[in-house]
A and B are shown apart, each in its own frame.
Chain A
């Protein structure tokens, strides 16, 4: 098991390096850098002006060196102001070291956000916490309800209940968030006034049922149908298995058969799906956060991309990659745990 884990972690690290390298290259393309320099100097700056700004702030150092420094395995050189000869920070709102140091992702230094005018870490942490909270609530409503509905419709395949639930899940999965979000907001926010169509207040005042329900149920409904259908298929198949008959003929009641014998076997497949849903949820969250103005990771990502905020973009993509890879690992380990047939010796 340990062996397996280390091997998987190794592969993960390698994947991460490759992916971040590509992203680092893309966000550091010449047009992006020029835009950055222009926004940081005065308007109508001359080409020389831009060039000297870029040189001064280390953007003209060799690409590999910059990438290594960003990761934190190479020393970051201080930026020397050619006029005064003294080290200065790139941006006025972030302090940067005056001597060469290791200050990359590994050391916890993600750079400086030009959009939010603060250190990336200071922006990202609260944003991630906010998104984590949102995702937690989405999962917490979506998974139990979806599994429950899936089990319910799969345990008596073809029953009336099954047919009603199947139609329902097809309708919800085929409605994207930007449609269901709008529809729900109009119904519950505008007409009925029960819920708040904006979650902006959640950042300052904390989450309430009033401001948080819509952002939670919009992606939850979308994913729910998907998981429920998965679970239903898996459950229906398990119910026809020979060992379910064995259990029944042992004298167990219908519900005892479901709980003791069918559930675990039926959950193996949906479990994998749920774990793989995390990355998908992340994209859903971007839409929802923007739609409901919720100050989380998704909104930060959108703002970063919209405002050419290089360091923040890098940090966002790193977080996404880590999340995707980590959920895959958890999914594999969990699958092996649930299914003894592939358990690692």
Chain B
């Protein structure tokens, strides 16, 4: 029989703070076989990273393993001496984590950081170390590896940095690679590249992997087995297709139902958020931890005693639920009734050839004088109608947020026009705008934490907003309006007196929504409103926004890189690349062929959490060019995989015109109609 590489049995870990003992992980078991990759999913704070660090015995000073064992290759990690531990770290178990920039030493060249691993663990000559590092750089598909070896981390992009961290981890040929959210900080297309790479390297080197993520789609794409964690425990585990194909724990089911899977949209199949919140580690309920949030909870059964992992269907598939047999797993979710689509109104926003260029000095510190131009938004035209949701998608740096800033008056346009309700707004900065205009165009920010003043109660901040917009005639009236707003965003009225720090991320985002809706806006710009939130919280906020919009007939510009969310929420989609709109159309038009080559690549990059769906591979080369020196001709030509199908080098010399294909669907591409017509769906 084959021995497992890693065997964690009944692991419990606590952090001992001055006041209390925080049991972060309880009775966690999992097994990884040689060459296998195990996925670990769960909400923020459920203990994923703690498990990973415990494997390497690198917990914080206050953290301690209170029970259970971690066996690596048959040896108990707890019994290793310091020297043995150092030998295991880096050469047998390696780790990659979320922030690639922070994981690399900023004052050391890449070459030194890579070769160091070999010098620590093997007796190698300088030349040999260099050669092997270079080879590994090629294996992780970095362009121009010799140059990169001589670079400092800050000279590389996020995706390149993460590839280097992975190369560094694999250099000593470890038996186990732990990846803790390795792509969360990266763009979708970059993420897709890294995932491809990790899968491929796993096969090539036979490395076992522990892949930690909160993204079910990523786990499905990369792993053989999965363990779902909830509040410090494993709640379901098994082969990936069994778990994803036949969910046997209400929490896992809840996760799936709260995710905007690609087939869903807000009218036919609304999301079903998991009610409530993750309990604090020292305030867990008796019996089943998930009990208070579980719709199948049965008093006297679920809350009696601690529950063990039980077999669910096949012997390899286990679930920590007492009612596996009793629950009808195929029944449709309750409360997810379909909605009637809202009627779309008249044009509200009309943007025509909008341009925004920034002048930047080359180097502030050393006083480089020659100013350069960043063409953040180059040529953007679109319309948005009343009660319509228009999504703007694209990689970071494509100009999405700049566009939003111009519309909000935080920046003024360099050229073109933006008509809001038939008045030009593109060159009015916010302090010149009328109160009415300001309250009609509101924003919901990505990070709810940054937008609330930490020293005022949330209620008074909403009242202030009302006051600024001149709504309500007296303080009492505004107070009562504020309470109504809290009702509207489904927060208890008692929250009015709370300080921002006393709220969870999702609650803060609700306050953000309440403030944006305070002035009865006609248009809301939501810049990545969900990306800082957990899956189950995302679902609740998404539903909140949808309902509010339905009631108030507000126009919404949704800026997002999450195409599943975009598909779910929006009526029309605008795809941006390097300051240009490269494709726009209704949501159905965008998600079906013919595609713009860039849209095709974006769609292919979505990690799908659906075991039945199949995805076509589209490889996107290189990185988004700098907006300071965009390429001539088509902005996408440096990475386009279909460029060869355009005759005469047209792509390199001429900016393609916006071509209307069918009603309302337009793309900016030179591809001939035959090629477009022959395109097949990316996802089937």
A residues with a Cβ closer than 8 A to B are 4, 7, 241-243, 245-253, 260-261, 264-265, 268, 338-342, 344-345
CB-contact partner of B104 in A4, A243, A248, A253, under 8 A: A243
Residues of A within 8 A of B363 (CB): 344-345
Contacts A/B (CB < 8 Å), 21 sampled: A242-B102, A243-B104, A243-B105, A245-B58, A246-B168, A248-B89, A249-B90, A249-B94, A249-B95, A250-B89, A250-B94, A250-B117, A251-B86, A251-B120, A251-B121, A260-B116, A264-B108, A340-B106, A340-B107, A341-B152, A341-B154
B424-442 interface (Cβ within 8 A of A)? none
CB-contact partner of B103 in A242, A252, A342, A344, under 8 A: A242
Residues of A within 8 A of B102 (CB): 241-243
Query: Distance in Å from the Cβ of B134 to the closest Cβ of chain A?
Result: 18
Residues of B within 8 A of A248 (CB): 58, 89
Query: Distance in Å from the Cβ of A243 to the closest Cβ of chain B?
Result: 4
Distance between Cα atoms of A342 and B108 in the complex (Å): 14
CB–CB B58/A247 < 8 A:
no
CB-contact partner of A243 in B87, B90, B106, under 8 A: B106
CB–CB A265/B152 < 8 A:
no
CB–CB B366/A344 < 8 A:
yes
Residues of B within 8 A of A342 (CB): 365
Residues of B within 8 A of A264 (CB): 107-108
Q: A251-B120, A341-B106 are in contact. List 9 more A-B contacts (CB 8 A).
A: A242-B99, A243-B105, A243-B106, A245-B58, A250-B89, A251-B121, A265-B107, A268-B107, A344-B366
Query: Distance in Å from the Cβ of B161 to the closest Cβ of chain A?
Result: 11
CB–CB B152/A340 < 8 A:
yes
Q: Which 5 A-B pairs have the closest CB atoms?
A: A251-B90, A242-B102, A250-B90, A251-B89, A340-B152
CB–CB B120/A338 < 8 A:
no
Residues of B within 8 A of A340 (CB): 106-107, 152, 154
Q: Is B97 an interface residue (CB 8 A)?
A: yes
Q: Is B56 an interface residue (CB 8 A)?
A: yes
CB-contact partner of A251 in B91, B99, B105, B366, under 8 A: B91
Distance between Cα atoms of A253 and B117 in the complex (Å): 12
Q: Name which residue of chain A comes closest to B178, CB basis.
A: A249
Distance between Cα atoms of A249 and B103 in the complex (Å): 11
Q: Is B88 an interface residue (CB 8 A)?
A: yes
Residues of B within 8 A of A338 (CB): 107
Q: Is B300 an interface residue (CB 8 A)?
A: no
Q: Is B341 an interface residue (CB 8 A)?
A: no
Residues of B within 8 A of A345 (CB): 363
Distance between Cα atoms of A338 and B88 in the complex (Å): 32
Residues of B within 8 A of A249 (CB): 56, 58, 89-90, 94-95
Q: Is B648 an interface residue (CB 8 A)?
A: no
Query: Distance in Å from the Cβ of B94 to the closest Cβ of chain A?
Result: 7
Q: Name which residue of chain B comes closest to A158, CB basis.
A: B61
Distance between Cα atoms of A7 and B94 in the complex (Å): 48
Q: Name which residue of chain A comes closest to B96, CB basis.
A: A246
Residues of A within 8 A of B276 (CB): none
Q: Is B367 an interface residue (CB 8 A)?
A: yes
Residues of A within 8 A of B116 (CB): 250, 252, 260
Distance between Cα atoms of A64 and B86 in the complex (Å): 72
Query: Distance in Å from the Cβ of B122 to the closest Cβ of chain A?
Result: 11
Distance between Cα atoms of A268 and B106 in the complex (Å): 12
Q: Name which residue of chain B comes closest to A157, CB basis.
A: B61
Residues of B within 8 A of A253 (CB): 82, 86
Query: Distance in Å from the Cβ of B482 to the closest Cβ of chain A?
Result: 40
CB–CB B108/A261 < 8 A:
yes
Residues of A within 8 A of B89 (CB): 248-251
Residues of B within 8 A of A260 (CB): 116
B106, B152, B154 — most chain A CB neighbours (10 Å): B106
Residues of A within 8 A of B86 (CB): 251-253
Distance between Cα atoms of A245 and B97 in the complex (Å): 10
Q: Name which residue of chain B comes closest to A261, CB basis.
A: B105
Q: Name which residue of chain B comes closest to A244, CB basis.
A: B105
Query: Distance in Å from the Cβ of A156 to the closest Cβ of chain B?
Result: 9
Residues of A within 8 A of B58 (CB): 245, 248-249
Distance between Cα atoms of A264 and B109 in the complex (Å): 13
CB–CB A246/B104 < 8 A:
yes
Distance between Cα atoms of A264 and B168 in the complex (Å): 21
Q: Name which residue of chain A comes closest to B362, CB basis.
A: A345
Residues of B within 8 A of A250 (CB): 89-90, 94, 116-117, 120, 168
CB-contact partner of B120 in A7, A252, A265, A344, under 8 A: A252
Residues of A within 8 A of B97 (CB): 242
Q: Name which residue of chain B comes closest to A256, CB basis.
A: B120
Residues of A within 8 A of B106 (CB): 243, 265, 339-341
Q: Name which residue of chain B comes closest to A248, CB basis.
A: B58
Residues of A within 8 A of B168 (CB): 246, 250
B54-93 interface (Cβ within 8 A of A)? 56, 58, 82, 86-91
Distance between Cα atoms of A260 and B82 in the complex (Å): 19
Query: Distance in Å from the Cβ of B82 to the closest Cβ of chain A?
Result: 8
Query: Distance in Å from the Cβ of B361 to the closest Cβ of chain A?
Result: 14
Distance between Cα atoms of A97 and B120 in the complex (Å): 71
CB–CB A4/B366 < 8 A:
yes
Distance between Cα atoms of A339 and B152 in the complex (Å): 10
Residues of A within 8 A of B90 (CB): 249-252
CB–CB B107/A339 < 8 A:
yes
Distance between Cα atoms of A293 and B7 in the complex (Å): 74
A246, A261, A265, A339 — most chain B CB neighbours (10 Å): A246
